[in-house]
């Protein structure tokens, strides 16, 4: 099956610093990648959708200058949380869909990155 | 705005019980309804349902979709403690311009006690 990896799996950073999270599709070309955020005991909330080679589309209420998304290749998307604050502490999950999959619109999820901002 | 509502939000049962989890949806450009199981990490895929009335089965889990009533259920028979998890339902919409999109419900927290 299609495999999506995320790195790091967890990160602790100090308030005011920036953190970059990588999402990779290992065995297929991810034309579209999605970034979700999940707070404790809540569901997944879509933050943004990115298509390879173009700018990400952000959901209402998500600050694009704070959550920088880059999808420069068909196998890699990055989410950078800039000037992180404690309220940005959350579980960040990426998913990918793309070419060569049995169901072209199916999303395959990465294992998630737990961010803690102190 | 697309909406997915799950019920109950929380359920506690004993091993061996059968449970039914509910999911109703209002999704424009609806393509499919998906069920996921989430333990400590990211969701793991269970089922994708696109056609009404056709049951999908995997071991003790089964699911069915009713596109007329905009409803799906997930059944788990002979529950085990390992079934304890949050079960998420998501509606998938596909639009020519913006592509696909998942809208998740709040999830049902299932606890199976020995």
From chain B, the residues in CB contact with A41 under 8 A are 109
Which pLDDT tens digit goes with each residue over A32-70? 999 999 998 888 999 999 988 888 999 999 999 999 999
Question: What is the per-residue pLDDT for A58?
Answer: 94
CB pair distance less than 8 Å for B100 and A107: yes
pLDDT per position as a tens digit, B70-105: 999 999 999 999 999 999 999 999 887 778 889 999
Residue B110 to residue A87: CA distance in whole angstroms: 28
- Looking only at the bridges linking them, the beta strands covering B71-76 and B19-26 are antiparallel
Of A54-58, A74-78, B32-36, give the lowest mean pLDDT range: A54-58
pLDDT at residue number B26: 97
Cβ atoms of B3 and A69 within 8 Å: the answer is no
Report yes or no: B28 and B2 within 8 Å, Cβ to Cβ.
yes
Name B70's Cβ contacts closer than 8 Å, sequence gap at least 6: B24, B25, B26
Chain B nearest-CA residue for A48? B101
Work out the pLDDT band at B20, boundaries 50, 70, 90. Answer: very high
Mean pLDDT of chain B: 94
Would the CA dihedral through A95, A97, A103, A106 be positive or negative? positive
Residue B51 has which token pair? 């056609």
Mean pLDDT of chain A: 92
Chain B positions touching chain A (beta carbons under 8 Å): 31-32, 41-45, 48, 88, 92, 94, 98-107, 109
């Amino acid at each position: 099956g299609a495999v999506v990896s995320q790195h790091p799996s967890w990160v602790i950073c100090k308030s005011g610093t920036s953190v970059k999270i990588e999402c990779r599709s290992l065995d297929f070309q991810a034309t579209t990648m999605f970034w979700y955020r999940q707070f404790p005991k809540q569901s997944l909330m879509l933050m943004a959708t990115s298509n390879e080679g173009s700018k990400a589309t952000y959901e209402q209420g998500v600050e694009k200058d704070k959550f920088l998304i880059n999808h420069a290749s068909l196998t890699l998307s990055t989410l950078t949380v800039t000037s992180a604050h404690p309220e940005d502490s959350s579980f960040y999950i990426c998913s990918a869909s793309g070419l060569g999959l049995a169901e072209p619109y199916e999303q395959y999820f990465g294992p998630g990155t737990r961010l803690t901002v102190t | 705005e697309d909406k997915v509502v799950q019920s109950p939000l929380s359920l506690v049962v004993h091993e061996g019980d059968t449970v039914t989890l509910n999911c109703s949806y209002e999704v424009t450009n609806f393509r499919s309804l998906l069920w996921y199981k989430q333990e400590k990490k990211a969701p793991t895929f269970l089922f994708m349902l696109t056609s009404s009335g056709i049951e999908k089965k995997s071991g003790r889990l089964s699911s069915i979709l009713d596109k007329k009533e905009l409803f799906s259920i997930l059944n788990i028979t002979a529950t085990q403690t390992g079934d304890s998890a949050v079960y998420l339902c998501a509606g998938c919409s596909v639009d020519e311009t913006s592509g696909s999109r998942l809208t998740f419900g709040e999830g049902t927290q299932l606890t199976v006690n020995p």
